[in-house]
Structure 1
Amino acid sequence: DLVQYDFTAGMEDDLDRIAGGEADRVEWLTGFYFGSEKHRGLRTVIDNMGEIDAREINSIAIADDVTLRIGKYGPYLEAPGDNPETPRRVNIPQELAPDELTAAKARELIDAPVVGDRVIGLNPDNGKQIVAKDGRFGPYVTELEPELPPVEAEFVLDKKTGELKEKKAKKVAVVKPRTASIFSSMDLATVDLDTALALLSLPRVVGVDPESGVEILSQNGRFGAYLKRGADTRSLISEDQIFEIDLAGALELYAQPKYGGRAASSALKEFDVDPVSEKPIRIKDGRFGAYVTDGTTNATIPRGEDIDDIDFERAVQLLADKRAKGPATKPAAKKAVAKKPAAKKPVAKKPVAKKPAVKKPAAAKPAAPRAAAAAKSE
């Protein structure tokens, strides 16, 4: 019931209200996980699932001897290899759509010849070998470090035992080879030595900013090509600009607002002003799908409606319907009940122990005259 169409459709509206500050996310997540009056929670579902074999769930049989798996670095095919204990793994091209991975296509990928490392040439500056490779993160070029000669063992005489012992060799710092990913417009099979050397030389110094005196660099990153001036960056249009842009072009790019172009192109469609808010209406692509907004009210486009078919009248109607619903009512916060201080019980007083009376010695009485006379005669 947590993946029904009705639930997911309502969930989108709930998430929109949370994003707009009209609903509380902690309360919604609590109900989703622990359950509420409307539906059971995810906690009750996963508690009764029993043991889960993650590998089995993460495997899809494409053919009798071919299995599709999802690994840490993306999807791959697993098929029998030359060694029965070690299956062969073949990465799936990123451009291949899921519905195109038929049994015949999987067999074609598995039977394709393995592309080995291709030696492009030698770096004329240091004589190191430049090689083109295809790795788990895509094709790249690298500069191989020369193999170090084996270190001969040295022996020293142990003064205590008189035996020869091998002297521990000093640890040698391992030099990490330079690598560089090739551009998406390049072919690994045809990359030449000049192109490989240019890629390995990145980042490229475009010039020095005359105002700050800081170097401007052009390089390729995780999110595409960009310029870097200290901590200030600017995105480039294409990877080719990394080698083509000059100092004047870089300064012109830095003179523009950083997010000016991005903000201007964020709307999928634009209309006239809304008759109620008197603000321009736009259709934008949000985190949970396309929606209509006037900058104040956001209305999700219903499932099944095409953005191209939505005109000004329909956009105004969606915003009006959203306003009619009003903001989501938050449950009243529970007031903390003031706890009355507990009544103090009377403390029973301990009886004071009475000290025993000290008897004073009785005063000696004067001896009788007869006893005194008897004592005198003795």
Structure 2
Amino acid sequence: MELVQAQETRRILDRLFGYELSPLLWKKVAPRLSAGRVQSVSVRLLVRRERERRSFKKASYWGIKASLVKDNITFETKLFSLNGQRISNGSDFDEQTGKLKEGNKSLIIGEEQVNDLLKTFSSEDWLVSKIEKKPSTRKPVPPFTTSTLQQEANRKLRLSARETMRCAQGLYERGFITYMRTDSVHLSEQATRAARECVSSMYGKEYLSNSPRQFNSTARNAQEAHEAIRPAGEVFKTPKETNLTGRDLSLYDLIWKRTVASQMAEARLTMINAEIRVGDGLFKSSGKSIDFAGFFRAYVEGSDDPSSSLEQQEIILPNLTTGTCLEVTNKESTFHETKPPARYTEAALVKVLEKEGIGRPSTYASIIGTIVDRGYANISSNTLAPTFTAFAVTALLEEHFPDLVDTTFTAKMESSLDEISSGNLEWLPYLETFYKGKNGLEVKVQKTEGDIDGKAYRQVDFEDLPCVVRIGSNGPWLEGTKIDESGNEIQAKGNLPMDITPGDLDIKQVDQILSGPSDLGTDPKTGEKVFLRFGPYGPYVQLGNNDQDKAKPRRASLPKELKTDDLTLDEALVLLSLPRLLGVHPEGGVVEADRGRFGPYIKWIKNESESENRSLKKEDDVFTVDIKRALEILAMPKMGRGGQEVLKDFGKPKEFKEKIQILNGRYGVYLKCGKTNVSIAKDTDIEKFTIDEAVSLLEEKLKDKKGAILKKTKISNKKTTRKKKS
């Protein structure tokens, strides 16, 4: 009963948090925003890291490395100290000042000094002055919990937390793995026995641990209601025996290897450190040899292939003895720059949330998904980059509701929920205190709402930039000043491209955006001016001016490999030559090649209201692809966003906001319109299935919720201009 009460309390807390704060954000910042007990803390973590990146001051330093040879084995060594003073490395510098940390006594050497040292070292002997060997052991990591599975799947398989859980859910439902929402690292006797049998039969008894291993959870507030995630059954099927494919196979393989490795022997290694004296300089080299691979044979964290990883883990040094003179085959200077703190990956964010005791493992995937869906973060190079909206919302919450975005406060709430689940705390009084108490949420919002100046939180200021970022219902834009043709300072504004992050916005980008369109020259064919402009999706070129009395001017986005500083008129004209007409399709209509927001693609225009798009392959060039190749691409099965085959595409009927498709998914054929899915009977003849039948099924599914897929006449994203009556 206590577990049920704890779950209900958690659900009610989340509702109260969202119901009180989300409407406040709509009024004060922008519509469609949301706040959440764990969500808002997570967003603040992203924002704090981005602030650190923004305030980061770069430092540079030099070093020397050399290649040495003995017994035909080449190894690398690096300058460690000079006259007994250690050479500076990246960790010695203060991220806020770019200078050495207070009290740091390391030596910064510059380019000129490095070059002088290289000359000096050329005439010196390179003598081994010290050798140190130490035995070391590595123990296998525990089997997967929900959070560690999400972390490792993100690192190894590049799967988001949401994708990992969706895939794991499918494996669980089909009986391949045990329950995937767990914070326990414990294995049952059945699982331990099955894992040890796998080790014995596949690797040999010498690879078994001396006795069955059991692990204890280190996560705060772990409930351990289920055992760890493992292959299901009394006998573990090898990945090959499952007949799984794609992501399912990759994730099962990961779970199988980690579970089996947990019952294997420790890996035994020898760590070798060598010091080489060269005049006044001391160089150091490190080596590592694997004496017994142990669990490395099955699983290495962060590696897809344990066998190849064994070689990568070994760093071979020759047999060195003190006083040996070494041959130098190469020596060179090395230049280094410190790097800003890395943004959180999904794996890193999940790890921090678990370490701080915030939220439950089963909710991490949905929380990260919500952060992205609500526009608080974008996924860039497998990292979570917070948006300007995230900065604005976090600033408001930090100022007026600091405890609600504090990791310690949120972790205490989680501890209270655990107290309720163990029967040590009454759920109703706790909720009443949280919401209706003297300093409860309801009171805080009522007292604070009138004092919050929404205008102040609909902008983001940066001390080092002469502009502000405004937050609007259609996204952020820049507002500042520019110098006009007469040399006067005037107000200016411009769209902020979506790929510019708060941590990376600099004065150069601000000047480009606020200065307005750049005139690249004149198109010799049309006599129209060609401009470089900036929009929400990045820089683009435009042929002609924006004239309401004329048709919309031709535009083309810039590929990432083209830099705005170096863009020429000829390059712009090549981009504006798109779309290219490739020819006529045998079944009617024409085929074009074009570029879009998501890259180059082929477009088959069947008629005025129906078309079909396919992305070009990596080996194809949008400027040279011909009709023959285009028809080959169009003949391939069309895939939906999740990799499902598109069996039929009805396009977008006039009364609908989204197109209607029939897809072949993992669990059968279904109808899709936006986020609405409807199963289709197995015996349905897809070729004869009509648009009217599709609409009927969708309307039956939604009934009174047709607004989800039908257009609303009162809402339009397009700006309209009415002509004045003369």
TM-score (norm 1): 0.43
Structure with larger RCO (C-alpha < 8 A, sep 6+): 2
Quick check: which has more Rg, 1 or 2?
1
Say which structure is richer in helix: 2
